[in-house]
Amino acid sequence: MDTIWLTGAEWLAVLRIGLGLWWLESWRHKEKKSWFEGSGIAWAADVAAKHRWNAVRSGFAIVVQPRPRVMAYVVVYAELALGLGLIAGFLTPIALVAGLLLNLVYLVLMIHDWAEQGQNGMMALISVAGLGGMAWQTWSVDNALGLFR
């Protein structure tokens, strides 16, 4: 594979780090106090209640609605952990799979919102490329520790 400026592995590291920065921005822009008080989950509950797919409505009612405070913390700190893990390249394959799953959940929940679909679709695509290209081979803690070779 021919590339400009960087090797293929380095370009994949750039994608991985960029995806990590995207997750970190998702975490940063949330108003944590109101999220932990329930605003984020309340908003998602409203979206889920109007969803056209019964599986989304019932899944949200079973998994998220009974524990809104816990789920708010899960969402906020999952985004932080994904961002930091991908930027540092620590446990990268796990972070890429977890991020892909979280993006797919967001994508399915927000199926009617084209802006959210675009963001989550692109983030999911970068996760797949990072997994397929083993984006932890360069500029990563995983590589320095000899993990996932």
**Which whole number is the average pLDDT over 13-22?**
98
Residue that is written with structure tokens 């590291």 in the block: 13
Q: What residues have CB less than 8 Å from 61, skipping those under 6 apart? A: 48
Residue 95, pLDDT score: 98
Asked if 79 and 27 touch (Cβ cutoff 8 Å), the reply is: yes
Residue 11, pLDDT score: 95
**Which whole number is the average pLDDT over 24-52?**
90
Rounded distance between C-alpha atoms, residue 28 and residue 125, angstroms = 22
pTM of the predicted model as reported, rounded to 2 decimal places: 0.91
Does residue 63 carry a pLDDT above 70? yes
pLDDT mean across residues, the chain: 92
C-alpha pair distances (Å), 99 with each of 4, 6, 56, 57, 146: 28, 25, 19, 22, 22
Find the distance separating the first CA and the last CA of the chain, reported in whole Å: 20
Rounded distance between C-alpha atoms, residue 125 and residue 55, angstroms = 24
Asked if 131 and 24 touch (Cβ cutoff 8 Å), the reply is: no
Range 67-94 burial, b when 16+ CB lie within 10 A, else e: ebeebbeebbebbbbbbebbbbbbbbee
